[in-house]
Structures are given as C-alpha cells and as structure tokens.
Structure 1
C-alpha cells in the first residue's frame, strides 16, 4: 500500500490548488500507473482472443521492425 504525505499549495483564501508529492512518492506513483497500464493492455489483448506470441519471438519481431526504421 502506498503511503503519501503530499504538500498542498493554496490560494490566498486557503483553497487547495496544487499537490506536491515528494520525488520518491512521485516516482512510485508513476511506476504504479505504468504497471496498471500494462495490466490494462494485457486485458485488452486477451479480449481480442488472438493466440499468444512467445516472448522471444515477440522480441525478435520488435527488433526487426526497429531496424527497418
């Protein structure tokens, strides 16, 4: 579980207008969002019902495409 202690920037009246996490908290949040995106993409691919490609084969395909550019 992520525990954060953000700092808030307020306007003259005291309304919160921005949140400032620590660098470590920010990096953790970004990492968690990237993991969630990977899960979302995985779930989306599973719904398509396409056969899975072994990792090594997928990596080789990506490398071939990258070299063509």
Structure 2
C-alpha cells in the first residue's frame, strides 16, 4: 500500500514503485491537500504536480477515503 505522510508543516510524500515524491507546502489545509492526492498517483514529476490543478468538478476525497487508499501517517516534524 502506498504511504501518504502528513506532518505539521505538511510534507506530502507518496511512495510508488520505489519512487518518492516529496513536496513541502507549508501549512496546507486538508482541502488543499486533497486536490493533489489523485495527481500524486499518476505523476512521477514533482514540478508537473505543482503546475497541474484538478478541475473543480472532480470530487475531492475525504480523509476516510484517503485512509482506505493510502497508509496515512500523521507525525510531528
């Protein structure tokens, strides 16, 4: 299962097939974070993730849905 790690100064780390994508985004809200999660599974390039935005029409995942798809760790930095 892929890992999604959420820290106090929210660092999003998505590990897939041995590739780690890490992007520190300051204090990101859960809503802001959820916009990027679906992209992390498809993109291997962090700069493309930064520049790409999901359309507003796409449903944003809830924390419960994220927990079903990812192994989520909350930690203090």
TM-score normalised per structure 1: 0.27
Bigger radius of gyration, 1 or 2? 1
Between Structure 1 and Structure 2, the one with more helix by share is 1
* Higher fraction of strand: 2
- Between the two structures, name the one with larger relative contact order (CA 8 Å, sep ≥ 6): 2
